[in-house]
Amino acid sequence: MANTNPTDTDEAFLEKDDYSLTLELLPKPKETKVKLPCRIIKPYHKNPYFVGRKDVSDQIRRTLAPGKGARTYRQVFALCGSGGVGKTQTALNYVFEYMNEFQVVLWAHASNHTQLLESFSGFAIELGLVSGEDEAIKDPYAYKGILKRWLDTTGTSRKKIDFVR
């Protein structure tokens, strides 16, 4: 009997790596010409009316600010609170204020699994990890796997990636 607990379902979705293509068929990071900078924040724009939250913005900056050299670990900052208190606007304000300090900024739409997979597919295409016209890759989990592999290797071994500007 399958467990229908939404938390378990979400965790299983995030961990699923059984895409239909084998790893041998996926582009290897050393063969990939990544298009940088890549900043995807669609459909959002800078909010000229955003005010305040300087303390939160400073906390985010201290946590996520890029340092010298490649990190071997991921930095995470979570904004928590009730709906309508400004979490998204606070995050967007940080993104628009500091995005030029980052080579890659990806804003994923995660209101459901389908939108999240569509975001991953778009990121993989925009970064140049795959061609949007590649008929061999139609499984959205394959795009997720390709993006995940690239993100996993980028932070720890930049020499494997041929960056294109």
| Domain spans of the chain, in order of start | 24-164
Half-sphere exposure of 81 (CA within 13 A, CB side): 11
Query: Given this model, what pLDDT does residue 20 score?
Result: 43
Query: Given this model, what pLDDT does residue 154 score?
Result: 76
Query: Given this model, what pLDDT does residue 26 score?
Result: 57
Query: Given this model, what pLDDT does residue 65 score?
Result: 83
Query: Given this model, what pLDDT does residue 152 score?
Result: 83
Query: Given this model, what pLDDT does residue 68 score?
Result: 60
Query: Given this model, what pLDDT does residue 117 score?
Result: 93
In the chain (165 residues long), the average pLDDT of successive 10-residue segments reads 46 48 50 83 92 90 76 79 93 93 90 93 91 71 89 59 37
Tokens of 118: 């569509």
Query: Given this model, what pLDDT does residue 123 score?
Result: 94
In one-letter notation, the amino acid at residue 17 is: D
Question: Helix (H, G, I), strand (E, B), or coil: what is residue 45?
Answer: coil
Residue 127 is classified by DSSP as T
